[in-house]
Structure 1
């Protein structure tokens, strides 16, 4: 496919790239810790962390991660549990598992050195086409197009591309445009970073600064007053709600947690035992120990990409724990250690509230056993809502 030509015959792709490179030299971001590096390990780490995550959130995690794992060899040699612990709170936990798997594969199959071309990079765990192109462009100067969310927005507006960018046909068109705009090899690092910065700081989702854009003069969306309409939003679908009961079992200053399966929500992290019904939770409480006192906390909601999780915590304080009552893979985590344990953010937040409530002076009031009012009322509510 030939590159688009302007009326004067000048290659539009070359002009676009030249303007982005010139703008980056003058106005591009310089304050982020991964900018300017050509170290594939650091570029890879930053690109993976930035997937679906705001820059402001990533900065601190990136610094802590490099302090613990300064190079690929140290990451590859570490247990997965250590990686998950550092990643806790960053979300999209499959990224951490893939990061660890990728490090080990590069260490064993490539002698600890990343492949130098985008196609080989894209075959590694957790590295998609755009991430592979970013690594290849930044570190090795390869003419490989990137297409992250910011770049999709820039291209959709500049070329007036209608349709949701995540749709297969629209994404294919955007990839084609991205490839046609690439500059010469020597300009690839500056162009790639400039395009990312342009989408992040000028051609933003809300309140774009078109007056500061280096390619505004050829932007279709600006010409047609459609900047607010493009790119086309994702088609709206109802977001289902999944409900579950959480057991917050407390004994001797510790809380019962279990490692989540690798696949699924919070995979590989420590979390609280979770049940579909209060009946199942009550059975687990009775098997776990006796002398229990329970209170139900307000339901908490946590949004994921495709659903909302509504969790109702039940704090149960045990006087005695039955020997070998906990499930395999479960452990008693001291409440004093919840700030550093590999817990998902919603669970850590809940346990901090529980810890604070246990430390506070308790007013004199009637306490219910696990078999009485609070759980009984909750059980009746469960049955009524299922009718």
Structure 2
């Protein structure tokens, strides 16, 4: 069965597989690794633009390892899930230190590196070294679940183990076919065996797996894999402060494990959940709000007296994968620059903002504020 599946998929890819993507056709493990990490939880259309930029600035593992983390985070800005960028940087340094700049050649070894899980390790090993290593990203899970009629919880250990066993059994026997097979499997899940309106539901094109697909046989293509009901995303609110002195603004470097971890952002009050049934009175004067931030014990009366003007901006709304955030901006102009600040705070010239990793909504807000 494995041989039939792989060969059918390879034949399919010659006619319908995606062509011309900037990361395709590479056997350089570095190029494969960057594309695989970037494509995690990021749309292909976005990666199409950002991957070439990243590779131009950091063309080798050595270039990435020797780069300043801020430069890496700046280039990653807007791609989300910023721990990926931090792990890329850390992993590149480990490859230089432990492996003299050469990627390990097996999936098992690759999986030991920071930020590289089993599926990513399998993809790198298959594309770069032609190892018979399976992959199991979300698209592949769906393809295999439908083909074998696996109805279990996709998050359970037992179901995941079963899917890995199926994925391994389906591999082509020839190592030389691993790159084209792995790409075909990714393409098939992304473009044909899709969550909704899979091609087998249409009469336009014949799915190569249709005759042997258990989900199609049972009429359960739309039911496999089982879909969990999504909980309504909670909404949080915060105040953010654009504090300016001449052509400099005050930014805070966020803690590594926080949301937007490691990025520079505007100083803010703690995020609070919006609970419609609770009507709390909120402070509205800037001094009270600043006292809820990292500045609370750093500012003197003289510092607060140096505020020249305060402007309340329009609320900014940002949607994360599991929450929403409403940010109330306050634009503060100072008569003199505040000093005696903590190590996480920096005055940064607005002309140099592109050199720093900023959350995308904050970058857009700052760009609009400078016009």
- What is the TM-score when the length of structure 2 is the normalising length? 0.87
Which one has more relative contact order, counting CA pairs under 8 Å at least 6 apart? Answer: 2
Alpha-carbon shift at residue 98 of structure 1 (Å): 0.6
Match of 2:142 in 1: 153
Match of 2:56 in 1: 67
Deviations 1:46-86 (A, max 9, x none): 00101111111112211111111111111111121111111
Match of 1:28 in 2: 17
Indicate how the Cα distance of structure 1 residues 299 and 88 shifts in structure 2: closer, same or farther if over 3 A, else same: same
Verify: 1:51 aligned to 2:40, yes or no.
Answer: yes
Q: Partners of 1:266 and 1:306 in 2: how far apart?
A: 14
Indicate how the Cα distance of structure 1 residues 74 and 224 shifts in structure 2: closer, same or farther if over 3 A, else same: same
Task: Indicate conservation of the 8 Å contact 1:240/1:306, yes or no.
Answer: yes
Where do residues 74-89 of structure 1 align in structure 2 (5 Å cutoff)? 74-89=63-78
1:99 is matched with which residue: 85, 88, 91? 88
Indicate how the Cα distance of structure 1 residues 331 and 161 shifts in structure 2: closer, same or farther if over 3 A, else same: same
Where do residues 280-359 of structure 1 align in structure 2 (5 Å cutoff)? 280-283=288-291, 284=295, 287=300, 288-289=303-304, 290-322=306-338, 324-356=339-371
Q: CA RMSD in A?
A: 2.0
Match of 2:30 in 1: 41
Indicate how the Cα distance of structure 1 residues 176 and 235 shifts in structure 2: closer, same or farther if over 3 A, else same: farther
Match of 2:237 in 1: 243
Q: Partners of 2:43 and 2:350 in 1: how far apart?
A: 30
Which stretches in structure 1 are left out of the alignment for 5+ residues?
Answer: 1-11, 357-387
Q: Partners of 1:216 and 1:109 in 2: how far apart?
A: 47
Match of 1:187 in 2: 177
Query: Is the partner of 2:113 in helix, strand or coil?
Result: coil
Match of 1:112 in 2: 101
Which stretches in structure 2 are left out of the alignment for 5+ residues?
Answer: 271-281
Deviations 1:278-315 (A, max 9, x none): 56533349644423322222332323333323322111
Alpha-carbon shift at residue 330 of structure 1 (Å): 1.8
Match of 2:163 in 1: 174
Task: Indicate conservation of the 8 Å contact 2:319/2:325, yes or no.
Answer: yes
Query: Is the partner of 1:147 in helix, strand or coil?
Result: coil
Q: Partners of 2:307 and 2:322 in 1: how far apart?
A: 40
Where do residues 199-214 of structure 1 align in structure 2 (5 Å cutoff)? 199-210=189-200, 211-214=205-208
User: After the TM superposition, which parts of structure 1 deviate over 6 Å for at least 4 consecutive aligned residues?
Assistant: none
Task: Indicate conservation of the 8 Å contact 1:255/1:332, yes or no.
Answer: yes
Match of 1:264 in 2: 258
Query: Is the partner of 1:227 in helix, strand or coil?
Result: coil
